[in-house]
Amino acid sequence: SPSFSISADFVAEHNARLEGAISEDYDALKRALARHGIDADALVQKVMAFSVAIPTWGVGTGGTRFARFPGPGEPRNVVEKIDDCAVIQLLARATPTISPHFPWDKVDDYAALREQAAGHGLAFDAVNSNTFQDQPGQELSYKFGSLSHTDARVRAQAIAHNVECIEIGRKLGSKALTVWIADGSNLAGQSNLTRALDRYIDAMREIVAALPADWRVFLEHKLYEPAFYSTVISDWGTSFAVAQELGPKAHCLVDLGHHAPNVNIEQIVARLVRFNKLAGFHFNDSKYGDDDLDSGSVEPFRLFLVFNELIDAERRRVEGFAPAYMIDQSHNVTDPIESLMQSAIELQRAYAQALMVDRAAIEAAQDANDALGAHLELKRAFTTDVSPLLAVARMRAGGAIAPIAAYRASGYRARKARERPIVGGTSAGIV
């Protein structure tokens, strides 16, 4: 039986009730921005062009090492995950791409998967490999590492998996491979810090050699977890040095939760841009570490400052500047579809606010050493409520003015709960 989907008519009806109010709010904002020489309609155009990828695992309920509380109607396979990604894009219009993960999303027919996605106006972004857990039937274990393992046979297995991910990615139309490894150690002395990195670099060289000419590889560093004493790719310094050794196809990915406490992430972004090594982002938010909380939910100002650096780079027309955006969150207590829509909106918000910074004014203040004046230029942009502008961008793109309200009114989740009964425990491929 055909599965339930939200119709364009439903979205239009929902919008009809909100359109009057949002137009009034937008017109007021437009006049306020015009007084600062900012063209609101041009901003709307930019926001409409903004896009961030949804990871396939993001539409499932996340969990912790203590428990996972599955929500009703969770997607049970990649086909159903794509259906959920389609809802997010239909309503919020900021997420036209999907980032798949293997082997979780393994199927026989990738052409069919690509077709299904295209039918919803979706394409595939960076492919993610997985050498951080063992799969049923796998020959050798990753318990003591993968690409940096002491045993060459384990390294070969991990390399082969990444090469397979590239092959699948080609079929899906991807242009990048993201490599995050869980390799590291839990006890001082357990691992030789230098030799482990040497083994990783040698393994990565083989993966880079397997990349098609127009592909890039994204190296994702992480300070700790699951290894708690040391990780092989622990910080942006290691990531950057390795990317340099691996050559022009290798770039450094910034997952907002993967840094030392209190580190200045926006400055790391600026450094990576300066050296042409910024791959892109895994967006999320955190209070303590790799919390994987919803984007913009804890530190919206930090998110804005990251986008401020990105806009600065864009304005300076930095050669080869094309960061890839993805949301990487664990939704433990919310409906993942709602969290992902709201997160995409928060990213658009930070983007729109950063676009509103008067670059000439802030540079003049910086050059004149007017510290507070420069800061106030940022704050003026950050404290402007651009919500009406974001709503108008969604509406003009065919989406919902109020995506979460529309989603709730649609009854999508309740319908899926009936269509997707879970047989025997929890669904696979969702962590």
Query: Applying CB under 6 A, which residues contact ligand AOS?
Result: 57, 128, 180, 220, 222, 255, 282, 290, 328, 431
Residue 328 engages Zn ion in binding (rule: CB under 5 A): yes
Least Cβ distance, residue 99 to ligand AOS (angstroms): 9
Pick the piece of the chain touching Zn ion (CB under 5 A) from 29-37, 98-106, 288-296, 334-342: 288-296
Between 40 and 147, name the residue whose CB sits nearer to ligand AOS.
Answer: 147
Least Cβ distance, residue 222 to ligand AOS (angstroms): 5
236 with 227: CB under 8 angstroms?
no
Least Cβ distance, residue 312 to ligand AOS (angstroms): 26
Between 220 and 309, name the residue whose CB sits nearer to ligand AOS.
Answer: 220
Between 328 and 377, name the residue whose CB sits nearer to ligand AOS.
Answer: 328
Residue 240: both structure tokens together: 């950057």
Best CA proximity match to 273, nearest among 245, 251, 290, 289: 251
Between 388 and 429, name the residue whose CB sits nearer to ligand AOS.
Answer: 429
Pick the piece of the chain touching Zn ion (CB under 5 A) from 76-84, 139-147, 194-202, 290-298: 290-298
Pick what 140 binds: ligand AOS, Zn ion, none; C-beta below 5 to 8 Å, kind-dependent. none
What interhelical angle do 336-355 and 40-49 show, nearest 10?
A: 140
Least Cβ distance, residue 269 to ligand AOS (angstroms): 17
Pick what 114 binds: ligand AOS, Zn ion, none; C-beta below 5 to 8 Å, kind-dependent. none
Least Cβ distance, residue 290 to ligand AOS (angstroms): 6
Least Cβ distance, residue 154 to ligand AOS (angstroms): 19
Between 148 and 329, name the residue whose CB sits nearer to Zn ion.
Answer: 329
Between 14 and 222, name the residue whose CB sits nearer to ligand AOS.
Answer: 222
Least Cβ distance, residue 64 to Zn ion (angstroms): 11
Residue 294 engages Zn ion in binding (rule: CB under 5 A): no
Q: Which residues pair with 252 in a beta bridge?
A: 219, 278
List 282, 394, 413, 416, residue binding Zn ion (CB under 5 A): 282
235 with 259: CB under 8 angstroms?
yes
Pick what 128 binds: ligand AOS, Zn ion, none; C-beta below 5 to 8 Å, kind-dependent. ligand AOS
Coil, helix or strand at residue 425: coil
- What is the sign, positive or negative, of the torsion defined by CA atoms of 317, 319, 320, 323? negative
Pick what 346 binds: ligand AOS, Zn ion, none; C-beta below 5 to 8 Å, kind-dependent. none
Residue 312 engages Zn ion in binding (rule: CB under 5 A): no
What interhelical angle do 236-246 and 193-209 show, nearest 10?
A: 50
DSSP code for 283? E
Residue 221 engages Zn ion in binding (rule: CB under 5 A): no
List 290, 312, 346, 377, residue binding Zn ion (CB under 5 A): 290
The answer, yes or no, to whether the previous bond of 226 is cis (omega within 30 of 0) is yes
The residue nearest Zn ion at its CB is 282
DSSP code for 384? S
Residue 42 has, within 13 A of its CA and on its CB side, a CA count of 7
Between 125 and 328, name the residue whose CB sits nearer to ligand AOS.
Answer: 328
**How many residues line the site for Zn ion (CB under 5 A)?**
4
Residue 415 has, within 13 A of its CA and on its CB side, a CA count of 15
Between 26 and 200, name the residue whose CB sits nearer to ligand AOS.
Answer: 200
Least Cβ distance, residue 99 to Zn ion (angstroms): 10
Give me the phi and psi of 129, to 5 degrees please.
-95, 165
Separation of alpha carbons 149 and 191, rounded Å: 10
> What is the full DSSP assignment across 60-122?
S----SS---PPTT---SHHHHHHHHHHHHHHH----EEE-EETTT--S-HHHHHHHHHHTT-
DSSP code for 50? -
Residue 265: both structure tokens together: 């992430």
CB-neighbour burial class of residue 247 (10 A; exposed 0-12, middle 13-18, buried 19+): exposed
Residue 255 engages Zn ion in binding (rule: CB under 5 A): yes
Least Cβ distance, residue 126 to Zn ion (angstroms): 11
Give the residues lining the site for Zn ion (CB under 5 A): 255, 282, 290, 328
